[in-house]
A and B are shown apart, each in its own frame.
Chain A
Amino acid sequence: MADLMTHFALAYGLVRFSRFVRFRVIFYLGTILPDLLSRPFYILRPELYPYTVAVHTPLFMLVTCFAVAEFFQQEIRPQVRHFLLAGAGLHFLVDLFQRHLVNGYLWFYPFSWDSFEISWYWPHEPLRFIPLWIALICAVELFMWIRGKKMTAQGR
């Protein structure tokens, strides 16, 4: 897996588009959900690995997104479902380009145990960009904050 900071940074870039604004948190949640549900278990308890095989798969995430959306108020449930799915989709898209020594991701689980990946980067390689992602996010947030303050001042 790419680290969650990389996944988050890419999602952050996308939520700049206006249609993401209302459900940005849901989109972020969808982006981190596949790793959030699978990694802690086998990092803390490696013997549980066979049980986590299914979790980081598109079908599992599809059903999870449906289940999670049920815990939101009815009026926004369809949108929550869509944004969770979009976030999880972005996560899998990023992971598709990753390289593995053995056992890649099971895209068609449980129908197939075969794996496929584009193999552009090793899991540790995005780590070097993390300072850049953090700096960019801080810069954008600072810019938005200053612009917001200016607009408020002009409004007065």
Chain B
Amino acid sequence: MRYRKLLPGALISRRWTGNRWLRICICLSILVGLIVYGKAANRTVTLQMCLHNPEKYDGFTIDVGGEAQVVQVTEDWFTIRQMGRVVKVVGSHADIRPDEYVICQGVFHREGWLELIKVYVAVQRRYKILVSILPVMIVALLLLKDYGFDCSRFQFYQRRTWRT
């Protein structure tokens, strides 16, 4: 494979015969490190942070993503619920309807409301989540069909033998 040339040989070599559990531990440590760094170095100001400390974040432009659901819609404003808290968003968009999920950008005001800058309505989000379950089930079934699990070695093996 061509990408072998791009990576340190020891990482990609077929003859990488070091202790398997050591390799797994190294990989998992890197993954944990990446996750922790993602949380620690992320400077994004969230809606929850603003609501927790409204004076501090007054006038901040924030992005509201992550499962913000429309609760009520009027001509000039709508309300969204995120993590159990309902927030008024001043501004409008033709596609916003109750129960739809939205991602929006707005200016936070200390009174606890948002001034809308732009919004994306995640149309049919529930449908999207539901249809995404189907391939997961197919892959799980195919994996169980093609591979068995050797509990003593804690690894999958191919059920069918292939001529190479």
| Interface residues of A, count at CB 8 A | 52
A127 within 8 A of B: yes
Q: A47-B83, A51-B35 given; name 18 further pairs at CB < 8 Å.
A: A3-B132, A4-B136, A8-B134, A25-B139, A25-B147, A28-B138, A28-B142, A55-B38, A63-B27, A70-B27, A73-B155, A73-B156, A73-B158, A101-B119, A102-B105, A123-B122, A123-B128, A127-B128
Q: Which residue of B lies closest to A70 (CB)?
A: B24
A28 CA to B82 CA, complexed, in Å: 33
Q: Are the CB atoms of A103 and B132 closer together than 8 Å? A: no
- Separation in Å of the B90 CB from the closest CB of chain A? 18
Task: Please give me the 3 A-B residue pairs with the lowest Cβ-Cβ distance, nearest first.
Answer: A54-B38, A8-B135, A67-B27
A66 within 8 A of B: yes
Which residues of B lie under 8 Å from residue A42 when comparing CB positions? Answer: 66-67
If the complex has contacts A46-B82, A73-B155, are A102 and B135 also in contact, measured as CB distance less than 8 A? no
Q: Are the CB atoms of A50 and B24 closer together than 8 Å? A: no
Report the contact-size class of chain B (Cβ under 8 Å from the partner).
Answer: 35 or more
Q: Are the CB atoms of B122 and A124 closer together than 8 Å? A: yes
A130 within 8 A of B: yes
- Residue of B30, B42, B138 near A50 (CB, 8 A) is B42
Which residues of B lie under 8 Å from residue A109 when comparing CB positions? Answer: 34, 38
If the complex has contacts A42-B66, A66-B27, A67-B24, are A8 and B138 also in contact, measured as CB distance less than 8 A? yes
Q: Are the CB atoms of B66 and A49 closer together than 8 Å? A: yes
A39 CA to B30 CA, complexed, in Å: 20
CB proximity to A under 8 Å, residues B1-38: 1, 3, 11-12, 14, 20, 23-24, 27-28, 30-31, 34-35, 37-38
Q: Are the CB atoms of A32 and B136 closer together than 8 Å? A: yes
Which residues of B lie under 8 Å from residue A136 when comparing CB positions? Answer: none
Which residues from chain A sit less than 8 Å from chain B, CB to CB?
3-5, 7-8, 22, 24-25, 28-29, 32, 35-36, 39, 42-43, 46-47, 49-55, 57, 59-60, 63-64, 66-67, 70-73, 76, 78, 81-82, 85, 101-103, 109-110, 113, 122-124, 127, 130
Q: Are the CB atoms of A50 and B31 closer together than 8 Å? A: no
Q: Which residue of B lies closest to A76 (CB)?
A: B158
A90 CA to B9 CA, complexed, in Å: 24
Which residues of A lie under 8 Å from residue B135 when comparing CB positions? Answer: 4-5, 7-8, 28, 32
A-B contact pairs, 15 of them (CB 8 A): A4-B132, A47-B83, A54-B34, A54-B38, A57-B34, A63-B30, A67-B28, A71-B155, A73-B153, A73-B155, A102-B103, A109-B38, A110-B38, A124-B124, A124-B128
Q: Are the CB atoms of B138 and A22 closer together than 8 Å? A: no
Q: Which residue of A lies closest to B11 (CB)?
A: A66
Which residues of A lie under 8 Å from residue B145 when comparing CB positions? Answer: 25
Which residues of A lie under 8 Å from residue B124 when comparing CB positions? Answer: 124, 127
